[in-house]
Structure 1
């Protein structure tokens, strides 16, 4: 069983590359559509694009700490 990452604005989402040598895709969660932090999320990706994102099993959330920097993962 997989768990869905719960998030809040300011958290970072990371999507692992699917092939050897692929870079991870990283973005900042700018909007969470549900009060409980469940997906979908509006994500501002590091390449400048922004869009609605439904994370799969290859994604995880890095929660922002009190200083706004990513910290723990889920």
Structure 2
């Protein structure tokens, strides 16, 4: 998985009834774009460090109209 600042990290929930979680990537410490990422979550505006799991994907910011 590779990301850049401005992309979105989307996490699909494995359990029925859990909402999808999405956040904007605000920092990518590694030059090659690999995790971990600092993400500002859209539902809380909190910034956390994330090591994405298999239920996550990156969407380019431009693809989301950013």
Structure-1 separation of matches of 2:37 and 2:52: 8
| Residue ranges of structure 1 left out of the alignment (5+ in a row) | none
CA contact (8 A) 1:10 1:68 kept: no
Cα distance in structure 2, aligned partners of 1:9 and 1:69: 14
**What is the CA–CA distance in structure 2 between the aligned matches of 1:52 and 1:20, rounded to whole Å?**
25
* TM-score of the aligned structures, taking structure 2 as reference length: 0.88
Higher helix share: 2
Q: Structure 1 runs of 4+ off > 3 angstroms?
A: none
Say which SS state the counterpart of residue 60 (structure 2) adopts.
strand
Q: Is the 8 A contact 1:17 1:24 kept in 2?
A: yes
Give a deviation string over 1:16-50, Cα, whole Å, max 9, x none.
11211210010000000111100000000012111
RMSD: 1.7
